[in-house]
């Protein structure tokens, strides 16, 4: 990634380059080393390439729609819990906090974090599973892959071409997410960090939401070593907390404990390795993540959440209904493409009606999906 570091960068500018030279560690991704964009653009006078990518994602319609998409819990359960938008913001802020201490590129981190979930269909992972099942003969459906389709083909910002024309690094970072289980993949440290921050955020906020919604009690959660540890440490500092403030403090501590662990563990590891460049770190096999001890405890917590929260009867029935409705609506469009909006009918001629129907549904918010489903069923 350092092929341009000796010469004038084609995508960055002096202000950004100077700032990054003063702040970033050698193993961070420097803007001036970016491989640039598919369609070359002149550097911006004061924003770096990753800042521009972040802003393009922030101003996209797919990003705004995250506010209408559920993370784990549906809008019918109230308005306290996280949406996919607030989850995304928690991931971004957690990743930036850690990234700043590790002296990584915060602009790149933020762009990757804001983008990481924009491909999610309505009704979270259940929506994804429903689409993946019907799409299996046509290549399947993955929210991570769909995020790339959105930023490359479906967002319209420029008259001359579709897509947001993002940098190679942001696109590659999202592409890495689609191959999560491939052990031989190598990613920039910023990409790895966003991945780890995603898990930090959902472990903490799903615990919080589940308690607040009454799906589990703090008492039950103390089966889990990590929660027991948080309760004990909170009580050491504040012995007189009421039940309500105890669970709030436990969740805050759960975030803080994970972030502190990630910082201490990775600062130590990175100090020992002396990486000389982003490429050096990326190809070394080193992974940013929690310490092995915390990783074990997180696994236990996630196992508990899976059993007692994600598979809670209240959620299972919502999911089953959503699953069936999504597949029904997909079937309606496939049977009769003229029911799609005009611009998507045209696109269906190029990419196939099955794929187009899945993409159209995947772009919907939970609410828009419900309204459309009702309309389509009644006018059938």
Q: Kindly identify the residues of this chain, within the stretch 41-100, that bind Mg ion according to CB under 5 A.
A: none
Size, binding site for Mg ion by CB under 5 A: 2
> Closer CB to Mg ion, residue 13 or residue 365?
365
Assigned token pair, 341: 């909006």
Q: Which stretch binds Mg ion (CB under 5 A): 127-135, 191-199, 266-274, 275-283?
A: 191-199
Q: How far apart are CA 47 and CA 16, in angstroms?
A: 7
Binding range to Mg ion, per CB under 5 A, among 115-123, 251-259, 280-288, 348-356: 115-123
- Give CA angle at 157 (192, 170), nearest 5°: 15
Q: Which listed residue (106, 107, 117, 169) binds Mg ion by CB under 5 A?
A: 117
Using an 8 Å Cβ cutoff, are 326 and 299 in contact? no
Q: Looking at beta carbons only, is 151 or 357 nearer to Mg ion? A: 151
Query: What b/e sequence results for 187-220 when a residue is b if at least 16 CB atoms lie within 10 Å of its CB, and e otherwise?
Result: bbbbbbbbbbbbbbbbbbbbbbbbbbbebbebee
Stretch touching Mg ion by CB under 5 A, among 6-14, 93-101, 114-122, 236-244: 114-122
- Residue 106 touching Mg ion (CB under 5 A): no
Please report the DSSP string for 278-342 in residue order. Answer: HHHHHTTT------HHHHHHHHHHHHHHIIIIIT-HHHHHHHHHHHHHHHHHHHHHHH-GGGS-H
Closer residue to Mg ion (CB): 85 or 213: 85
CA 174 to chain centroid: 9
State the Cα–Cα distance between residues 137 and 319, nearest whole angstrom. Answer: 23
Taking the C-alpha atoms of residue 83 and residue 103, their distance in angstroms, rounded to an integer, is 30
CB of 184 to Mg ion, least distance (A): 23
Contact positions with Mg ion (CB under 5 A) in 318-357:
none
Least Å from the CB of residue 135 to Mg ion: 21
Beta bridge partners of 167: 37
Other CB atoms within a 10 A radius of the CB of residue 347 amount to 20
Q: Please identify, using beta-carbon distances, which residue of 255 and 329 lies nearer to Mg ion.
A: 255
Q: Shortest approach of Mg ion to residue 81 CB, angstroms?
A: 15
Closer CB to Mg ion, 106 or 198, in the complex: 198
Query: Cβ 243 to Mg ion, closest distance in Å?
Result: 30
Q: Within 10 A of 104 (CB to CB), how many other CB atoms are there?
A: 29
Comparison of 147 and 211: residue with beta carbon closer to Mg ion: 147
Q: Indicate the burial class of 105 (C-beta count within 10 angstroms; 0-12, 13-18, 19 or more).
A: buried
Contacts of Mg ion in 196-215 (CB under 5 A): 198
**Residue closer to Mg ion (CB basis): 117 or 155:** 117
90 class by beta-carbon count within 10 Å (0-12 exposed, 13-18 middle, 19+ buried)? buried
What binding mask, one character per residue, do residues 257-286 give for Mg ion by CB under 5 A, x or -? ------------------------------
**At closest approach, how far in Å is the CB of 137 from Mg ion?**
28
**C-alpha 41 chain-centroid distance:** 27
User: Which of residues 107 and 198 has its CB atom nearest to Mg ion in the complex?
Assistant: 198
Q: Return residues touching Mg ion (CB under 5 A).
A: 117, 198
């Amino acid at each position: 990634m350092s092929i341009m570091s000796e010469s004038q960068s084609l995508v960055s500018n002096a202000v950004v380059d100077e700032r990054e030279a003063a702040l970033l560690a050698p193993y961070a991704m420097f803007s001036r080393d970016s491989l640039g964009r598919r369609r070359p653009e002149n550097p911006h006078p004061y924003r770096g390439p990753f800042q521009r990518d972040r802003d393009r994602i922030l101003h996209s319609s797919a990003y705004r729609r995250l506010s209408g998409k559920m993370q784990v819990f549906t809008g019918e359960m109230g308005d306290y819990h996280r949406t996919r938008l607030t989850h995304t913001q928690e991931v971004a802020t957690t990743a930036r906090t850690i990234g700043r201490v590790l002296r990584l590129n915060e602009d790149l981190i933020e762009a990757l974090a804001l983008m990481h979930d924009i491909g999610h269909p309505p009704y979270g992972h259940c929506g994804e599973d429903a689409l993946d099942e019907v799409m299996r003969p046509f290549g399947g459906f993955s929210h991570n892959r769909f995020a790339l389709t959105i930023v490359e083909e479906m967002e319209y910002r420029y008259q001359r071409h579709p897509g947001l024309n993002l940098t190679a690094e942001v696109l590659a970072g999202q592409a890495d997410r689609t191959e999560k289980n491939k052990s031989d993949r190598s990613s920039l440290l910023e990409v790895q960090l966003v991945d780890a921050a995603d898990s930090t955020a959902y472990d903490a906020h799903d615990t919080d939401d589940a308690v607040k919604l009454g799906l589990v009690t703090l008492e039950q959660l103390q089966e889990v070593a990590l929660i027991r540890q948080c309760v004990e440490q909170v009580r050491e500092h504040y012995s007189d907390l009421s039940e309500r403030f105890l669970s709030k403090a436990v969740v805050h501590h759960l975030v803080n404990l994970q972030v502190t662990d990630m910082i201490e563990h990775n600062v130590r590891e990175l100090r020992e390795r002396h990486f000389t460049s982003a490429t050096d770190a990326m190809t070394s096999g080193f992974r940013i993540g929690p310490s092995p001890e915390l990783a074990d405890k997180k696994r236990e917590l996630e196992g508990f959440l899976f059993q007692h929260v994600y598979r809670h009867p209240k959620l299972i029935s919502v999911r089953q209904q959503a699953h069936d409705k999504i597949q029904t609506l997909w079937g309606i469009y496939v049977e009769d493409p003229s029911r799609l909006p005009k611009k998507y009918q045209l696109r269906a001629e190029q990419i196939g009606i099955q794929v187009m129907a899945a993409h159209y549904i995947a772009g919907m918010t939970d609410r828009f999906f419900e309204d459309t489903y009702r309309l389509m069923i009644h006018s059938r």
